[in-house]
Chain A
Amino acid sequence: MLAFLNGISQSLDAYLVLSGLLFAIGTFGFLARRNAISMLMSIELMLNAVNLAIISFGAFSTSLRESASVIALIVIAAAAAEATIGLAIVIAIFRNKKTPLVDEYDAMRD
């Protein structure tokens, strides 16, 4: 276990950069993809990027270790719930509109 830990980077910045990259990819996906399912997946990606950042902080700062784990678990739970509701909505709209493409969804305009 410790050997595994030794193999990984000892730099916090590396994790944060990774987290930032993941978040940027998620944001790009959310803005650029037209498919509602893909957008939901992008949201998951962003949430996980945030989770990664939280865990990294927890790992490098002893005072945050327990709290970080708890926060990460809560984020995972929230992400799961959000995914459920999001999928449900998407399916409901899909049944109405017969399309998964979000640029056809303009009912909010009026």
Chain B
Amino acid sequence: MHLLLGTLLAATSTAAPTAAADPGIYGTLIPLIPLLPILGFAFTALFGRRLQARGGRWAAELVPVGIVVAVWVIAMMVVVPALQHAEPFGEHGLDVKLWTWIPAGNFTVDLGFHVDALTAALLIVVTTIGMLVHIYSIGYMAHDPGTWRFFAYLNLFMFSMLVLVLANSWLLVFAGWELVGLSSYSLIGFWYPKRSAALAAKKAFIVNRVGDVGFALGIMAIWVNTGTMNIQESLRILIEKPAAELVIPLGIVALLVFCGAAGKSAQFPLHVWLPDAMEGPTPVSALIHAATMVNAGVYLVARANPLFSHAQETMVVVAAIGIFTAILAASIAFTQTDIKRVLAYSTLSQLGYMFAALGVGAYIAAIFHLMAHGFFKGLLFLGSGSVIHAVDGEQNMNRMGGLWRKIPITHWTMLIGTIAIAGIPPLAGFFSKDEILSEAFKSGFAWVWAIGLVVAVMTAFYMWRLMGKTFYGESHVDPHVEPKIHESPWTMTLPLILLAIPSVFIGLFLGLPFGDSRISQWLDPIFRESEEYLHGTPSEFQLFGIDGALILISVACATLGLVIGIWLFGAFRARGRQATVDGIVASSPATRFLYRASLNKWWFDELNDLLFIRIGGRLAAFLWWFDRTIVDGAVNGIGRLTRDAGGGLRRIQTGRVQNYALGIAIGLIVMVGSFLLIVGQPR
């Protein structure tokens, strides 16, 4: 491993291989990033209850929150040189091997971390939003008796996610993958006495298992093909080996890996768990189900980009599923009334965008959108949590309205988030979404581009619908709650403001200058080979040519969506036109059908119920019957036969000497008689 790394680095740097492979201080800092949260989890899980009982909430929150802030500081110390390709990271990243994890003959797996620019980009999102969500939770969970448990789980999640992102072997990625699933399960079901929360947790866990089976098989396929578990090494072997020598074709390997990615990132048809996951506390929705864990699938595909680039049939599948999920989820978001569910479908839709980008080979655009989306969607979720907090736990948008003057900080930050996700320049969403769409168009995926534009209109529209129903127009708040509406404490508003800043500026920071943006400089070494393999040398950026036109079209679409939204649902003092909305819905059978389809989420839950509960249940019942009757019957039948035969034979064992003697005598006579008859014929 060291030899290989040495040669790899020697090829890219002028320094001596041994000196280049030395991680220096980063050998300590990188393992600390996942180590601290797991220590925080252990500490809080063991002592949190007692600390909270004796010293109050602050005592229980101090360690987990402090640790996450420390992790953020350490992560930034690692991220900055890693993004600038400084030594010892170089263009291809730094490997920190801790120890040999599984030494078993031919099969050895090293436990270690790999940090390159892609890891660093994910580290920024995970640690920054993780830290802000921890701070936010101090305020949000202030009335919950189980605060210590919540923070313990949050730290466990941070550990899991950081392991997933940092891992250098597929096995460790898988461990992190399952650990985030576990912590997501615990946090969705955090209010487990509530039946719907417990069911949602179970649903998330089970649907994720479906994808994970594919991912596990994909990892096995990779091992069968390459004989190594190291990510970088195995990817290199996969693309360098002639196709005839591969035991399992690349297309299938990529498809299996994508299965896992689709499960974790809630892509069609495994998207059903994410909206239900909103049963968890809102900080959890923001952290896990919007900004970090659901991005793991995107990260996985981007990490395995050489594999996907050489399996172009699979790429088309990825693009198709991504863009289909995008439009499907956007259409459902039109009619949902639960504020968090709208955001959940919006998350699905944006994740669909990212997969569409991965599918057309625009890896950098996908990661760019991942980062931008992480910030503004985290902001929107935390904002929605602040709204829910203000109106005393109400999540139905039809019982909100007119809140903009009562909770101004929440309103203004959410407005920024909405404009950012709609894709209005110069906010974050514009740069990343536009890059995805124009890359799709330029790579010859005009259908992805066209559907993407429709989704852009829809996104802007339903996001403004959320704003209009929540903040503007008349108040529909419960009269008992109305006087108690209050802005949230500073622990909640501070993260909102801190997330609003990157939502505004991250696009400008990462996306400029056009054609040679900062993020493409960062991520170029990781994706260069794949993108050149797919598209050849990239063409020059033409602001007054094709690229400028594409930007104008996407901005026009976003504006169109916003304008329709403002016209129908109002803004500030302007009233919405609810009667017009109802009129449009009722105008024709087609619109009525679409409305019902959207409201019922295209009946996917019912379909799953039919396929897997009814039909699958019948099949399972039949198999159970088969097992009980045929399989068990055969085994028990043999047993019974032996027992009964023994019971029958037992009767001739009388225990009387003379009966036995008679047997001997008869036997003797028969033997002698037959001997005489056959052999000893008298002469």
Contacts and interface: CB of A to CB of B under 8 A. Distances in A.
B665 A27 contact: yes
B656 A103 contact: yes
Interface in A27-78: 27, 30-31, 34, 39
Majority SS at the chain B contact face: helix
B653 A102 contact: no
Contact of A103 (B658, B661, B662, B665): B658
Interface in A72-110: 102-103, 105-110
B667 to A, nearest CB: 13
A107 B655 CA distance: 6
Contact of A31 (B653, B654, B655, B662): B662
B679 interface: no
A105 B654 contact: no
Contacts of B655: 105-110
Contacts, number: 31
A106 B665 CA distance: 20
Nearest to A110: B655
A105 B656 CA distance: 6
Interface in B639-658: 653-658
Contacts of A27: 665
Contacts of B657: 39, 102, 105, 108
Contacts of A34: 658
B661 A30 contact: yes
A89 to B, nearest CB: 11
Nearest to B655: A109
B658 A31 contact: yes
Interface in B404-447: none
A108 B660 CA distance: 11
B70 to A, nearest CB: 78
A106 B661 contact: no
A30 B658 CA distance: 7
A81 B470 CA distance: 112
A31 B661 contact: yes
Contacts of B654: 106, 109
19 contacts: A30-B658, A30-B661, A31-B658, A31-B661, A31-B662, A39-B657, A39-B658, A102-B657, A102-B658, A103-B656, A103-B658, A105-B655, A105-B657, A106-B655, A106-B656, A107-B655, A108-B655, A109-B654, A109-B656
Given A105-B657, A108-B656, A109-B655, 11 more contacts: A31-B661, A31-B665, A34-B658, A39-B657, A102-B658, A103-B658, A106-B655, A108-B657, A109-B653, A109-B656, A110-B655
